[in-house]
């Protein structure tokens, strides 16, 4: 090695303090390291012996070292006792904390229970016993799996740290509905401020709109034939084309790849690029569309007044109903039980299932035609607006009206957010009420006026504090604090999903597809078991019928029925059938006639004289047989 190299290496060692990370080291530096290591070893040898042979004898040890060792041992015992006390107190605190967390989890798990309560509490429900020995372990396994799922859902809720916030007024004289979007934008961040915008599309309006379940994509449909899809958060346009005929309603299907459009004559399905996929010719002159995501069913109603269900995976018509109330243009799907609600021209709202020919329920909501309808995601409350200018809130569980509001003009569109805010579009105004479903509020939460326009559709964005509404001049988007759910479940709807996640979610949805027979007013009936045997059920049914008949008889329900005598010359088939039905009816008059006949028979038997044996003669036995058969 040259002198220059040694000089540079020496300078490097001085700068780094004698430490080398990588590279070749000179012999001089290696010797210096060896000398330092030997010195360190010598210093260690002076403090502690390497082997027992090098250790000093007992006689060489001083008494002061013994005393110091005793003191050290006492100190160690005291410190160990203190550590043990601290550990025990920490364990108790952790145990109390775990108990509090467990109680909180059990309290939160109550809202996830379906059917019978789980057996994780003190009060255990009676176990369901069946005769089959093979079915019993399956039932127990399903019960344990359900309890584990309930607890997991409650535990995952503790990780949801985001909270919803609302707009609040500072003083008594201030009102939240007086706050404009420009004033609100000054207090928002850049991303939230970008969500306030107006799209001016005056040529093809008014517009109807729809958002995907994750709130990421927007679908626009103009009345004069304009269609467009976009990722509205990023401002990226997906597809835009013109169908050259009237558009009445638009609807996303299970994701942003497919959407349905109610056009002038038929309903059509398009893909994300704008290519026509299907022409649904069974849906004639549709005016309103609705999609059932868990059943993959597209529901529509129109000028014919019929309600059509079509499976978009198989292409089959699942159900077709005709309510008989004329043309319809109001249709909403209940997100809780997938029951379709239809508003009719006579003020009646009917609820339908695809496999039942008659409506599940009927409600008289307004004195005039129903104009708009909205249902909250829990399936508890329904809001309707009529041509009479009233806006009513209903409790679907008992079919009763809770509150009633009034608007200057009939509301053309209604929507309920994930947090329970109610929005109504009437005329050129959009009004939002807070807590309007639970209680009667005096003043609205927020409102906006867009002059020289007519609002045609209002929609809240899922998982975001944004309200979008279409009108005759295009589309507008405003910020409504507290409207969206702050925490989302990625297994249900993921606003930030990738292409791979969307594909996997689509496959999972197809595997989890539900049958149309599962659509009922009470969806919790699925999975219930009736422990009674078939004979026991039949006996209870007969007993209930007898009790009902006795009750009706006591109330005088059968007094109006009359037993008509057979008339000569009127022996037609209809008359014979009517007489046969009357003979089968056991009313009060007929029962009285039967009792009187039996009473007369008993009286006549009692009046008969008993003939002694001496008076019977040779033919007496034939006389007895005749009397017994009479």
Q: For all residues of the chain together, what is the average pLDDT?
A: 80
On whether the CB atoms of residues 287 and 246 are closer than 8 A, the answer is no
pLDDT category at 627 given cuts 50, 70, 90 is low
For 425, residues 6+ apart whose C-beta sits below 8 A from its C-beta are 411, 412, 413, 414, 455, 456, 457, 458, 469
On whether the CB atoms of residues 318 and 311 are closer than 8 A, the answer is yes
Long-range contacts of 14-18, Cβ-Cβ distance < 8 Å, separation of 24 or more: none
Residue position matching structure tokens 């027992």: 52
pLDDT tens-digit readout, 93-107: 777 777 777 777 777
pLDDT category at 47 given cuts 50, 70, 90 is very low
Residue position matching structure tokens 């005598």: 565
Q: Which residues pair with 448 in a beta bridge?
A: 430
Nearest CA among 126, 120, 93 for reference residue 107: 120
Average pLDDT over residues 144-150: 85
Which secondary-structure segment (H or E) carries 423? Answer: strand 422-426
- Cα 142 from Cα 139, distance rounded (Å): 5
Copy the structure tokens of residue 461. 């964005």
Nearest CA among 352, 312, 355 for reference residue 330: 352
Residue 538's pLDDT is: 86
Residue 462's pLDDT is: 93
Average pLDDT over residues 129-151: 80
Which secondary-structure segment (H or E) carries 343? Answer: strand 340-343
Average pLDDT over residues 240-251: 94
Residue 18's pLDDT is: 40
Whether the per-residue pLDDT at 26 is higher than 80: the answer is no
Helix %, strand %, coil % of the chain (to 5): 35, 25, 45
For 349, residues 6+ apart whose C-beta sits below 8 A from its C-beta are 341, 342, 343, 362, 363, 365, 370, 373, 382, 384
Which secondary-structure segment (H or E) carries 568? Answer: none
- Cα 459 from Cα 468, distance rounded (Å): 5
Residue 173's pLDDT is: 82
Q: Report the predicted TM-score, pTM, of the whole model to 2 decimal places.
A: 0.66
pLDDT category at 74 given cuts 50, 70, 90 is low
pLDDT tens-digit readout, 579-619: 666 655 556 677 778 888 888 888 887 776 666 666 666 66
pLDDT tens-digit readout, 356-395: 989 999 999 999 999 999 999 999 999 999 998 899 999 9
Residue position matching structure tokens 């699942």: 318
Average pLDDT over residues 155-174: 79
What angle is formed at CA 395 by the lines to CA 389 and CA 397, rounded to 5 degrees?
150
Helix then strand count (H, E) for the chain reads 11, 28
């Amino acid at each position: 090695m040259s002198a220059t190299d040694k000089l540079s290496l020496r300078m490097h060692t001085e700068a780094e303090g004698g430490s080398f990370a990588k590279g070749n080291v000179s012999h001089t530096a290696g010797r210096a390291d060896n000398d330092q290591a030997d010195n360190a070893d010598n210093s260690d040898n002076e403090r502690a012996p390497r082997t027992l042979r090098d250790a000093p004898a007992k006689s060489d040890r001083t008494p002061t070292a013994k005393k110091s060792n005793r003191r050290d041992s006492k100190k160690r015992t005291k410190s160990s006792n203190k550590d043990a006390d601290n550990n025990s107190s920490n364990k108790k605190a952790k145990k109390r904390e775990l108990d509090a967390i467990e109680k909180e989890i059990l309290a939160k798990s109550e809202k996830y229970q379906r059917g019978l309560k789980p057996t994780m509490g003190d009060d255990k429900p009676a176990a369901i016993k069946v005769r089959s020995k093979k079915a019993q372990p399956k039932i127990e396994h399903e019960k344990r799996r359900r309890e584990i799922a309930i607890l997991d859902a409650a535990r995952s809720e503790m990780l949801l740290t985001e909270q919803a916030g609302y707009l609040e007024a500072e003083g008594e004289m201030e009102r939240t509905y007086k706050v404009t979007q420009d004033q609100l934008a000054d207090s928002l961040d850049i991303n939230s401020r970008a969500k306030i915008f107006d799209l001016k599309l005056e040529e093809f309006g008014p517009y109807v709109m729809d958002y995907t379940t994750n709130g990421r994509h927007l679908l626009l449909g103009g009345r004069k034939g304009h269609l467009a899809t976009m990722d509205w958060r990023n401002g990226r346009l997906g597809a835009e084309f013109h169908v050259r005929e009237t558009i009445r309603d638009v609807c996303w299907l299970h994701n942003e790849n497919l959407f349905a459009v109610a056009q002038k004559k038929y309903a059509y399905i398009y893909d994300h690029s704008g290519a026509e996929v299907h022409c649904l010719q069974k849906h004639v002159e549709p005016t309103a569309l609705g999609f059932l995501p868990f059943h993959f069913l597209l529901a529509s109603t129109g000028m014919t007044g019929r309600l059509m269900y079509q499976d978009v995976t198989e292409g089959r018509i699942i159900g077709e109903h005709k309510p008989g109330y004329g043309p319809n243009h109001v249709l909403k799907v209940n997100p809780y039980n997938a029951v379709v609600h239809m508003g009719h021209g006579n003020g009646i709202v009917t609820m339908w299932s695809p496999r039942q020919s008659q409506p599940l329920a009927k409600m008289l909501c307004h004195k005039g035609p129903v104009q708009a309808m909205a249902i909250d995601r829990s399936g508890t409350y329904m809001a309707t607006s009529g041509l009479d200018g009233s806006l009513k809130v209903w409790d679907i569980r008992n079919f009763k009206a809770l509150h009633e509001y009034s608007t200057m003009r009939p509301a053309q569109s209604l929507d309920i957010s994930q947090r329970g805010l109610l929005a109504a579009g009437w005329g050129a105004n959009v009004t939002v009420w807070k807590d309007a479903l639970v209680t009667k509020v005096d003043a609205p939460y927020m409102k906006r006026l867009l002059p020289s326009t007519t609002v045609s559709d209002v929609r809240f964005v899922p998982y975001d504090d944004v309200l979008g509404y279409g009108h005759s001049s295009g589309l507008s988007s405003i910020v409504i604090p507290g409207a969206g759910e702050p925490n989302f479940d990625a297994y249900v709807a993921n606003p930030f999903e990738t292409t791979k996640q969307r594909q996997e979610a689509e496959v999972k949805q197809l595997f989890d597809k539900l049958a149309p027979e599962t659509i009922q007013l009470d969806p919790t009936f699925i999975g219930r078991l009736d422990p009674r045997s078939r004979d026991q059920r039949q006996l209870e049914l007969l007993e209930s019928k007898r009790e009902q008949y006795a009750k009706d008889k006591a109330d005088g329900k059968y007094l109006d029925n009359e037993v008509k005598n057979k008339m000569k010359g009127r022996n037609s088939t209809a008359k014979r059938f009517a007489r046969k039905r009357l003979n089968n009816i056991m009313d009060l008059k007929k029962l009285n006639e039967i009792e009187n006949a039996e009473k007369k028979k008993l009286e006549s038997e009692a009046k008969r004289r008993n003939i002694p044996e001496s008076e019977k003669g040779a033919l007496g036995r034939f006389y007895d047989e005749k009397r017994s058969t009479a």
